[in-house]
Chains A and B, each alone.
Chain A
Amino acid sequence: SAVISQKPSRDICQRGTSLTIQCQVDSQVTMMFWYRQQPGQSLTLIATANQGSEATYESGFVIDKFPISRPNLTFSTLTVSNMSPEDSSIYLCSVRTGGSSTGELFFGEGSRLTVL
């Protein structure tokens, strides 16, 4: 298992500003994943972050809007840039343990962003 800490847990932001979410894991992991959960909806993968390489973004998500850093094997950040009310969501950091196909994901508590 893995224990994941996310900061901030929640924030209220103004339109046009940017916010960086931090994710700290209690063990070294190869891959970290960032998900978005819009109000009342399921989880959508934003990007996969490998240490030492550029993040891989899913369709509909771009680096300019959601830049990701992965400086080491226990830490990652996701920035939500130039925010609009449509970015109001819960952003979740997760890691996978075990095999690349069989391992389950462990999630942080999430960062709930409200954009006014």
Chain B
Amino acid sequence: AQSVAQPEDQVNVAEGNPLTVKCTYSVSGNPYLFWYVQYPNRGLQFLLKYITGDNLVKGSYGFEAEFNKSQTSFHLKKPSALVSDSALYFCAVRAPFSGGYNKLIFGAGTRLAVHP
């Protein structure tokens, strides 16, 4: 069965510092990986995805993520955090050809707090 883990409930970082939000996954075969962000009282917004190709994926708002197959990880990164990046971040995984409607499985979420 496919699953995704976000080991940190919360990440605190000072504005201007680099940030990393961790994600590891478990899936049979090659995974399709996604990051979403949820601002307070809002729906989820798509940030980026890895399907195939270059392991470093760039997305919205200056975020990027690196796919590491040997470590089964897909950590979200940003070189310089902004206070406005403070939000709830979700990692998600889909196993290709998993049957049904190729369900997307979400991690528990990590709350990012960027302090001025």
**Interface, chain A (partner B; CB < 8 A):** 4, 6, 31, 33, 41-43, 45, 48, 56, 58, 92, 94, 100-102, 104-110, 112
Contact = CB atoms under 8 A, between A and B. Distances in A.
Contacts of A58: 103
A56 B42 contact: no
Given A56-B101, A107-B43, A110-B42, A42 B107 contact: yes
A107 B106 contact: no
A91 B92 CA distance: 18
Interface of B: 32, 34, 36, 41-46, 49, 51, 90, 94, 96-97, 100-104, 106-109
21 contacts: A31-B101, A42-B107, A42-B108, A43-B106, A48-B100, A48-B103, A56-B100, A56-B101, A92-B44, A100-B102, A101-B94, A102-B49, A104-B34, A105-B36, A107-B44, A107-B45, A108-B43, A109-B41, A109-B43, A110-B42, A110-B43
Nearest to B111: A40
Contacts of B104: 45, 105
B32 A102 contact: yes
A106 B107 contact: no
A92 B107 CA distance: 16
Given A48-B101, A108-B43, A110-B42, A101 B32 contact: yes
